[in-house]
Amino acid sequence: MRNLKFFFFVLILGICQAVFLDYFKIFNVKPDLLLISVIIVSLVLKPAWAVVLSLFAGIFKDTFASCSFINTFLFPLWSFFIIKLSSKLSFDELPIRMGLVFIVAIVHNIFCALIFICSGKIIPPGIILRIVIVGAFYTAIVFLLVSTELRISNGKICKLRFEPDARRDDEGVVNALR
């Protein structure tokens, strides 16, 4: 049941990326919601399900983009890399997760640009730099917006509630989970 929720989470982010993000371009660059979903799924789910949903996200992105199965190959690799890295490091804090998203987004964009260049397509260096840098920043900022709605803690993802009558603990921190 939990895996089905994450399947719909990836599907909803994929539909949002394919349909609605054209209205929110900055310098003609969109954030990569499916890459965000791959990172979240890799941090939360068991490794087998994370890789399967990452493969689904890659197929979904390549279907609606003009890519030749680049993301179908790279998304499961990112998922595997994040799973292995999360066994060595803790990603409990939001700035660390944002740094992870930024680094993965920048390297992913560099790999995609190199694959396009090696396939014979001519892309000006200014456009590559714009896509790599602005796209990575934009993806990290959108991850911040998505993660304010979701709370990832100890491998579990919980929906936060922002209620005015939420109870506070001794340190004055809102206890949003009941």
Q: In the beta sheet, which residues pair with residue 174?
A: 168
Asked, for residue 57, whether it belongs to a domain, the answer is yes
Task: State the pTM of this model.
Answer: 0.82
Asked, for residue 46, whether it belongs to a domain, the answer is yes
Give how far Cα 38 sits from Cα of 63, 117, 162, Å.
Answer: 16, 25, 26
What is residue 32's predicted lDDT score, i.e. its pLDDT? 92
Asked, for residue 14, whether it belongs to a domain, the answer is yes
Handedness of CA 104, 109, 114, 115 (dihedral sign): positive
What is residue 91's predicted lDDT score, i.e. its pLDDT? 85
Asked, for residue 177, whether it belongs to a domain, the answer is no
Give how far Cα 75 sits from Cα of 32, 53, 105, Å.
Answer: 12, 9, 11
Domain tally for the chain?
1
Span 125-142, pLDDT tens digits: 998 999 899 999 999 999
Asked, for residue 175, whether it belongs to a domain, the answer is no
Q: What is the mean pLDDT of each run of 10 residues along the chain (178 residues)?
A: 83 89 88 93 90 93 81 93 91 88 95 88 88 93 83 52 36 41
Asked, for residue 70, whether it belongs to a domain, the answer is yes
Q: In the beta sheet, which residues pair with residue 153?
A: 156
Asked, for residue 86, whether it belongs to a domain, the answer is yes
The CATH number of whichever domain residue 67 belongs to comes to 1.10.1760
Q: What is the largest distance, in Å, between two alpha-carbon atoms of the chain?
A: 61
Residue closest to 99 by CA, chosen among 113, 84, 82: 82
Asked, for residue 36, whether it belongs to a domain, the answer is yes
- Name the phi and psi angles at 18, rounded to 5: -75, -30
By residue range, what is the domain housing residue 93? 2-159
